Amino acid sequence: MPTYIFVTHEGFTYSPDPNAISPDVVNMQVLGTAFGDSQEQAFENFAADNPDLLGSAFDEVQCIELKYDSYDEQAKWFYLSDVRKGPDHVEDAEDADNCAHRIGQAEDAFA
């Protein structure tokens, strides 16, 4: 049975640094995951497993099927701090190349 993730554009997240120039981050909120043979069944399971959400202000929820059922075992972690440090501080050569490319894109965006 596939695993689905439920996200919403409603709400916002706080930066880890409350004194940052932009303490609020506009993004998507992950509300949870659920199993189901279809998106509809997964949503029913999600709602049943998370009754507190029914009392929240969240309303519009997107359901996206995850590629791996064991998504937590397949996850690869990335760190923005590595990008901030630059490609010389990234251990994997391919990751360093990607890091250098992303830094160049970010610099172009703010130029």
pLDDT of residue 17: 76
Question: Does one domain contain both 12 and 55?
Answer: yes
Higher pLDDT among residues 64 and 15, named by residue: 64
35: Cβ–Cβ under 8 A, 6 or more apart, which residues?
1, 2, 3, 4, 42, 45, 69
Its domain, for residue 88, covers 80-110
Question: Does one domain contain both 97 and 62?
Answer: no
Do 14 and 23 touch, CB atoms closer than 8 A? yes
Question: Does one domain contain both 84 and 67?
Answer: no
Predicted TM-score (pTM) above 0.85: no
Dist CA 9 CA 32 (whole Å) = 14
Paired residues of 25 in beta bridges: 13
Higher pLDDT among residues 71 and 53, named by residue: 53
pLDDT bin (cut points 50, 70, 90) of residue 100 is low
Question: Does one domain contain both 68 and 84?
Answer: no
pLDDT bin (cut points 50, 70, 90) of residue 89 is low
Question: Does one domain contain both 64 and 87?
Answer: no
Question: Does one domain contain both 66 and 86?
Answer: no
Question: Would you tell me how many other CB atoms lie within 10 Å of the CB of residue 103?
Answer: 15
Is the pLDDT at 42 greater than 90, yes or no?
yes
Is the pLDDT at 47 greater than 90, yes or no?
yes
| 39 CB burial (10 A radius; 0-12, 13-18, 19+) | middle
Do 58 and 35 touch, CB atoms closer than 8 A? no
Is the pLDDT at 75 greater than 60, yes or no?
yes
